Chains A and B, each alone.
Chain A
């Protein structure tokens, strides 16, 4: 770790330095940052980083965290109706994992100087987005399997390269997330396989779900490279390692043989192996639909965000109670701790509050 830490940076500034001196200092930090990125070193929370890098990461990690939280809804829709106890247990464990992923990711975002409350507020007010895929409805049980196979599959294709992202806390969160996601994806595939090999009605249910989820899954990789505003800078900073179109192609190449093994077809008449390219060619994505969903006009945008806001509002009295209880508890502790030093007390109190939060 050779990047300049913020603490070091402050002490090297010349007191009362001229504008030129400040600019030179700024350039020096940037040079160290650029060298660290070029050398594939990890940037850590206390390191100096360009403001735009910080802002870009906050945007991306927050959107990722929001996607985990909103993404619980389409699947939770089937928890009470899952057709066997085993499938119900698998689905509940998955939804629980997603809440856990949301927690890691909000923590990773917080290392950049924001807070979970602030980010949730931006989600609830529509100032930050979540993955457009979760604006599609889960209409049958097979959708749960299709989400596991296709949506988690696309997410993994996107996220595996993020395990090497230049920002340390995000990269480490991704390692944990990817492990669990791969597990979910296998389970989704296995659930679809059971349907595909089941009764005629079950097979039809699986095919219908794949028909509805295939194109939205391809859209998860984002707009085509020539329309992607953030890609070039994100790649230069090594936040992203591959372009949207590269990852989309990689996903198609993996998914096609899996669909064949499942005994299901993909809803694309133009899908065929291209010997020359060594890849599958596939049909045109309906970008009008993509932008429409992104703008809030998908089938479930309103429902998803309303439900999230409702949960937050309904839970306000619970969070207030936890805070009030912690405050009372802190006052009692303050009495008991009087002989101790102020600093020690402050640490104790903070610990108590955090402990209360963590258990909350």
Chain B
């Protein structure tokens, strides 16, 4: 998301996209700090040790791709944090704060899905193409993750209902393809990623790795 800075379609989106990126980075820092040193975990692990879902490592693409990715992911995050916040597990406090942020992200993604889907012919076409392209990465979001106790089946049906509703209102068709595949099914969670991810890490980690032991 940080890659959008300086390239957004309108100034208001410069603010909005940076704001979302900043919220997500804040959430990442809290989560990483629960496990260890945030910088060590972010900068010194290699590709095979990262456990992120493949959806979030997909390139920004055009604005429609970014919005489709955000729609799928923020809808999932809102359900996940909603469940975690209402429980008494180790993530309840973090989730209670994060759920407010991701509600904003979901609202933002929904509004843009409506504008692009139900805008011009070109924007409709682009939005549909983006929704189709990212569909196959959405099944992974509902694979079990060790240590996170939530009702994934309930989340998945709520997610499908919500996304189906938004796409329908945006005059878009719910993609027909599979939501998981032999490779994508939970693969990111096992450290199996897509090709763009290694290059993203190379850029992100280069400076930190060039100065071992330095503080910034």
Contact = CB atoms under 8 A, between A and B. Distances in A.
Contact of B119 (A116, A202, A320): A320
A92 B21 contact: yes
Contacts of A73: 6
Interface string B172-216: 000000000000000000000000000010011011100101111
A82 B111 CA distance: 31
Nearest to A77: B6
Nearest to A68: B11
Nearest to A359: B111
Interface stretch (B23-31, B46-54, B88-96, B146-154): B23-31
A274 B207 CA distance: 42
Given A317-B120, A321-B123, A83 B111 contact: no
Given A84-B39, A315-B63, A360-B12, A321 B214 contact: no
B120 A320 contact: yes
Give the top 3 A-B pairs by smallest Cβ distance, nearest first: A315-B9, A321-B119, A321-B123
A106 interface: yes
Interface residues of A, number: 54
A57 interface: no
Interface in A180-204: 191, 194-195, 198-199, 201-202
A358 B18 CA distance: 16
Contacts of A360: 10, 12-13, 115
Interface in A126-157: 141
Interface in B76-112: 108, 111
A96 B22 contact: yes
Given A76-B2, A99-B14, 9 more contacts: A76-B5, A83-B214, A85-B28, A85-B42, A100-B15, A199-B211, A320-B122, A325-B115, A359-B111
Nearest to A98: B14
A252 interface: no
A318 B63 contact: yes
B10 A319 contact: yes
Contact of B22 (A84, A89, A357): A89
A311 to B, nearest CB: 4
B122 A83 contact: no
A87 interface: yes
Contact of B118 (A195, A198, A328): A328
Nearest to B204: A80
Nearest to B114: A325
Contacts of B115: 321-322, 325, 356, 360
B38 interface: yes
Tier of interface size on chain B: 35 or more
Contact of A314 (B7, B15, B25, B114): B7
Interface of A: 69, 72-73, 76, 79-89, 92-93, 95-96, 99-100, 102-103, 106, 116, 141, 191, 194-195, 198-199, 201-202, 307-308, 310-311, 314-322, 324-325, 328, 356-360
Contacts, number: 153
Contacts of A88: 2, 25
A103 B15 contact: yes
Contact of A103 (B7, B12, B22): B12
A129 B63 CA distance: 28
16 contacts: A72-B5, A73-B6, A80-B204, A83-B43, A85-B28, A85-B39, A86-B216, A92-B5, A92-B21, A95-B6, A198-B214, A316-B9, A318-B10, A321-B116, A322-B10, A325-B115
B129 interface: no
Given A79-B3, A84-B216, A314-B7, A96 B14 contact: yes
B9 A318 contact: yes
A358 B122 CA distance: 22
A102 B10 CA distance: 11
A310 B12 CA distance: 17
